[in-house]
């Protein structure tokens, strides 16, 4: 039987295997490197795959022998390899080949979006700090808040806000040449003006250039000391929310601009006073197990849409419906030290809207300050779902009260 091939089936990409299995289709894992990045290793279940291929000079031949029903990236590390192999071996599923960098590199994707006529957040991506200095002067950004981040990281790794632009050079130098959580060396650094507004994510599945919307969510993000973009919450929006058509239209234009024709994507946008502005595009499923929760909120997901399309087992709608109100509440640590008082979290599973919780911190553990999405999972998260949104909000307040009962005994200086 023809299998589905998933490149780097880690984090939410691991959900492709059980979904294809349910449709009666075996799955082959194609790995871009012999072992997954450390941050993704726990999500890789080798037993889920009929075959595991480590990319080599023989990959193209083996893919032709397998004649798969599809070839899709599972997570960020597999995007470029999936793009290259699809264009070479299965051109009928290929995304626009010359725009491959725009589907992975944050600097290149902004350039492609701007070339398509869409407004972007002012930014520069370079290895030369003098170029940043000139850019700041050219755009009159002296004294303005800046954001500094690696162009090929994931999960808000290395993202920092520099208040008033003071000390941007030190942050730039600290990022340049550093190996990020995906094991890649930051050979450039992206510096951009800090955009003010609420951040959202639009999750889509595309086939033949038709971009279908699986869900739209609103992020709650906070500053945690010097660290910005620390996740606090995630809420699914009803399709009749006034912001949804504005966001989905812009997200579809972004996907056209970066040349996506087939596959899953999540588009992160900030809704400013002047309209939506792109944060970044991920050409793979929304991470952190999001499709599992989306099934509860909407009855569908990006992963399920991909399976139905490539196996011919059902239609893919253009939009979505909200069946339950759902929020993910991310726990965080504001100081580094040893944890006490975890008994306060015992009430969480008893909440009326509790759907799932993953509490990873234990009394006696030493934890660091939560500084990015990966670090959020060092403490834990809670998923709330209910027919009544007010119940969800009340239970979120109860989660925060329980979180406040945690005591982190800070390190002595």
- The residues, ordered by sequence, that sit 6+ positions from 371 with a Cβ below 8 Å of its Cβ are 224, 227, 230
Q: What is the pLDDT of residues 89-118, one digit of tens each?
A: 999 999 999 999 999 999 999 999 999 999
Closest by CA to 37, choosing from 378, 374, 282, is 374
Closest by CA to 74, choosing from 117, 128, 28, is 28
Pair of tokens at residue 70: 């599809």
pLDDT score of 237: 98
Are residue 78 and residue 30 in the same domain, yes or no? Answer: yes
Give the chain's domain count: 3
Of 102, 133, 153, the last residue of a domain is 102
Are residue 86 and residue 153 in the same domain, yes or no? Answer: no
* CA 165/CA 91 separation, integer angstroms: 45
Beta carbons within 10 angstroms of residue 45's beta carbon: 13
Are residue 126 and residue 177 in the same domain, yes or no? Answer: yes
What's the whole-number average pLDDT of the chain? Answer: 91
Are residue 94 and residue 12 in the same domain, yes or no? Answer: yes
Closest by CA to 299, choosing from 325, 322, 319, is 322
Of 169, 193, 217, the last residue of a domain is 193
The domain spanning residue 184 has which CATH number?
A: 3.30.1490.20
Are residue 98 and residue 13 in the same domain, yes or no? Answer: yes
Report whether pLDDT(75) > 60: yes
Pair of tokens at residue 261: 């024709």
pLDDT score of 112: 97
Domain extent, residue 42, equals 4-102
Q: In 187-209, which positions are buried (b, 16+ CB within 10 angstroms) versus exposed (e)?
A: ebbbbbbbbeeebbbbbbbbbee
At residue 326, φ and ψ (nearest 5 deg) are -140, 140
State mean pLDDT over 375-382.
Answer: 75
Interstrand relation of 146-149 and 160-162 (parallel, antiparallel or unpaired): antiparallel
Of 102, 134, 154, the last residue of a domain is 102
- The residues, ordered by sequence, that sit 6+ positions from 91 with a Cβ below 8 Å of its Cβ are none
Q: What is the pLDDT of residues 1-13, one digit of tens each?
A: 999 999 999 999 9
Are residue 97 and residue 140 in the same domain, yes or no? Answer: no
Are residue 14 and residue 86 in the same domain, yes or no? Answer: yes
Q: Is residue 262 part of a domain?
A: no
Q: Is residue 311 part of a domain?
A: no
Report whether pLDDT(376) > 60: no
| Between 197 and 231, the higher pLDDT residue | 197
Are residue 70 and residue 156 in the same domain, yes or no? Answer: no
Report whether pLDDT(375) > 60: no
Q: Is residue 231 part of a domain?
A: no
Q: Is residue 330 part of a domain?
A: yes
* CA 301/CA 306 separation, integer angstroms: 9
The domain spanning residue 362 has which CATH number?
A: 3.90.1170.30
At residue 230, φ and ψ (nearest 5 deg) are -85, 125
Q: Is residue 220 part of a domain?
A: no
Are residue 334 and residue 407 in the same domain, yes or no? Answer: yes
Q: Is residue 221 part of a domain?
A: no
Q: Is residue 90 part of a domain?
A: yes
Query: What proportion of the chain, given as a percentage, has pLDDT over 70?
Result: 94
Sheet holding 337-340, edge to edge: 366-367, 337-340, 407-410
State mean pLDDT over 212-231.
Answer: 77
pLDDT score of 228: 52
Q: How far apart are the first and last CA of the chain?
A: 62
Are residue 390 and residue 338 in the same domain, yes or no? Answer: yes
């Amino acid at each position: 039987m023809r299998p589905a091939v998933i490149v780097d089936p880690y984090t939410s990409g691991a959900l492709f295997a059980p979904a294809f299995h349910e449709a009666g289709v075996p799955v082959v894992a194609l790995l871009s490197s012999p072992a997954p990045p450390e941050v993704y290793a726990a999500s890789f279940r080798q037993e889920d795959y009929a075959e595991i291929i480590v990319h080599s000079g023989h990959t193209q031949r083996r893919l032709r022998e397998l004649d798969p029903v599809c070839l899709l990236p599972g997570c960020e590390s597999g995007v470029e390899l999936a793009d290259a192999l699809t264009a070479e071996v299965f051109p009928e599923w290929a995304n626009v080949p010359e725009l491959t960098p725009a589907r992975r590199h944050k600097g290149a994707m902004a350039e492609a979006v701007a070339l398509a006529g869409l407004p972007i957040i002012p930014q520069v991506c370079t290895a030369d700090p003098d170029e940043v200095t000139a850019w700041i002067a050219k755009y009159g950004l002296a004294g303005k808040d800046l954001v500094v981040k690696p162009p090929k990281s994931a999960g808000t790794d290395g993202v920092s806000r520099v208040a008033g632009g003071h000390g941007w050079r030190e942050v730039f130098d600290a990022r340049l040449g550093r190996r990020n959580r995906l094991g890649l060396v930051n050979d450039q650094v992206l510096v951009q003006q800090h955009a003010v507004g609420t951040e959202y994510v639009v999750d889509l599945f595309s086939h033949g250039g038709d971009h279908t919307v699986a869900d739209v969510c609103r992020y709650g993000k906070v500053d945690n000391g010097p660290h910005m973009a620390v996740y606090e919450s995630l809420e699914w929006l009803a399709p009749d929310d006034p912001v949804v058509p504005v966001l989905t239209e812009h997200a579809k234009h972004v996907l056209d601009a970066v040349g996506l024709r087939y596959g899953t994507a999540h588009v992160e946008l900030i809704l400013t006073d002047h309209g939506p502005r792109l944060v970044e595009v991920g050409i793979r499923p929304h991470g952190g197990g999001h499709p599992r929760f989306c099934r509860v909120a909407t009855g569908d997901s990006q992963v399920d849409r991909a399976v139905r399309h490539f196996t011919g087992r059902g239609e893919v709608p253009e939009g979505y419906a909200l069946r339950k109100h759902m929020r993910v509440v991310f726990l965080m640590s504001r100081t580094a030290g040893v944890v006490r008082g975890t008994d306060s979290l015992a009430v969480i599973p008893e909440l009326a809207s509790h759907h799932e919780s993953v509490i990873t911190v234990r009394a006696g553990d030493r934890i660091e300050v939560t500084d990015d999405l990966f670090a959020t999972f060092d403490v834990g998260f809670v998923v709330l779902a209910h027919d009544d949104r007010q119940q969800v909000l009340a239970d979120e307040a109860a989660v925060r009260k329980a979180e406040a009962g945690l005591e982190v005994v800070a390190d002595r200086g």
